[in-house]
Chains A and B, each alone.
Chain A
């Protein structure tokens, strides 16, 4: 056990870096960008001491390329960035999805578009996490709301990426990344590594019929595996003109997440059983939302909170169920990205309270908004 453990007072970004070490990450490639830089700085110091490698690349495109390369060389790898760097990474997010490379990408979100507000929090990149690269694919995105969760969900992100062979995003925001809180870091964490396929097997990209996930290979062990971002058959060989091969592959890339969605999705509910108004929030906003729910309850309004821990795959069934018996209020630091998901699942217009400019919703604002609904 080489990660920091015990009770500590840590910054979110540092807890994330320690979570990576705990999860078995031994390669980090990154490029400095506010407000994620502390993740890189911490790992630059820590990784060489636990037998890992840190490299500052020439840009974010190089960073994500290097971590994909490292994973194929058999080492768990991560990068961390914020909006502008996240945009640059999108091409190879698609490459990682297409080649089913398990990697973790941390996005400490700041206000966009473009350079925007480098030091201010936002949740404006969540739809980019889902749909940012071209073509059809599926990913997993997690949203921490505390320093403790920066550690725990980073470990979870690695485990999910290895289990489903998919890029996993840790979509934190500047508040959670830069906040300092007391955390309890366990001595041992549960880790998972993608099982390797049999050497010399010709069909390296043949999926397990149940999970739809193929077994992993590693360079340097005599697999002679060919990995390409082109449409490929189950041998991994390009089959760019074959409609059937392409449809089968891309459907599987999406289905392997959708079919396992119920196993992947994590949410946190507060007072949902009898709630007449359900607030839906994630990240830093969910902390204000919880305070607002308590205040509303004290005032006799039956409010509840659904906090999304997994953003994608989206908890469609749960939201649909809640929409049948309660009014839904979505709170976000953007102009309604998860609101669209909620509306899609609930098949009705939902109430929406956005907050832009880097300020967090206050509980008071949320309470007033809910009271005005009556």
Chain B
């Protein structure tokens, strides 16, 4: 199977602009799926609104193209209703960090089993290039004509802090790392996020002196710093505030929500394996009870031989032991 077979070729040509970075993401994603050999019918793609959210419409899988910001909430329903499905959300910075910010935070907190691929192009490309929650300070967009005054959100760090199991960030200048991270994310339990810094020369770059895709990719190459280097450099006192740190921000193995809710099939089988000792315990208890019952019966029979006909009848009728005892004491006296 090649990744070309995973495209809805009857939908081509696509609507994405020349030079868009989403093609690099699709490439990395489909190669990851092919290399992992994931069965097509068990994958579901969910997206919201925006350029990257159009991607599932070109993939030959079950796909749900939803409303702005809500993809993760829809995906939550899909995953919990059928935990056998592998749910992949394709979203963007505006869709996930702005209008869908709350769903994003809570999905990471729940550690719900899904993979989110966030195409972060620093702006709202579909509507023509407005400021987004990730636009760096000072950069120009159509709604920040004098430069963005607001500090941006660090999506990867927020996801890691909120509780996601696996979080990685790469730029489209390093497609191999994107693919490897997607593979890791797809095979990991819990909430996994791959943030991809992507170029949008059409709506964003040209307003910031980065007119072509090549300019933007070069900018990413020059301005991204790998996480381990960043730590070393910071220790040496190098100022990295103008750089973007890339790498793996979380790599944990906490149980996902599906397991926490007891919806995993293997877990039920494990429970069954644990059951035999419990059954053995019950059998032993039954044996012990039977032994005691027989001993009690023998004692009562012995007493009956000694006692009066009344006592014998009381024992035969299985009357209260205390009453029999009283009668016995009376007889003994």
Contacts and interface: CB of A to CB of B under 8 A. Distances in A.
User: For B42, B44, B77, which residue has the most chain A Cβ atoms within 10 angstroms?
Assistant: B77
A234 interface: no
Interface residues of A, number: 41
Contacts of B65: 226-230, 238
A68 B67 CA distance: 12
Contacts of A179: none
Q: Of residues A48, A91, A221, A224, which shows the largest number of chain B Cβ atoms within 10 Å of its Cβ?
A: A224
Nearest to A58: B106
Contact of B73 (A57, A219, A223, A225): A57
A77 interface: yes
B332 interface: no
Interface residues of B, number: 38
Nearest to A65: B73
B255 interface: no
A6 interface: no
Interface in B248-287: 261-263
A69 B77 contact: yes
Q: Which 6 A-B pairs have the closest CB atoms?
A: A69-B77, A66-B77, A65-B73, A70-B81, A73-B81, A228-B65
A217 to B, nearest CB: 8
B56 interface: yes
B73 A69 contact: yes
A53 B263 contact: yes
Contact of A70 (B77, B84, B263): B77
A62 B62 contact: no
Given A62-B103, A75-B82, A226 B8 contact: yes
B62 A223 contact: yes
Contacts of B74: 65-66, 68-69
A237 B65 CA distance: 10
Most buried by A among B41, B42, B73, B106: B73
A60 to B, nearest CB: 10
A74 B84 CA distance: 12
A39 interface: no
Contacts of B80: 27, 53, 55, 66, 70
B78 interface: yes
B57 interface: yes
Interface in A334-359: none
Contacts of B153: none
A70 B83 CA distance: 11
11 contacts: A53-B261, A58-B106, A65-B67, A68-B74, A69-B78, A74-B81, A75-B82, A77-B81, A220-B41, A220-B85, A224-B61
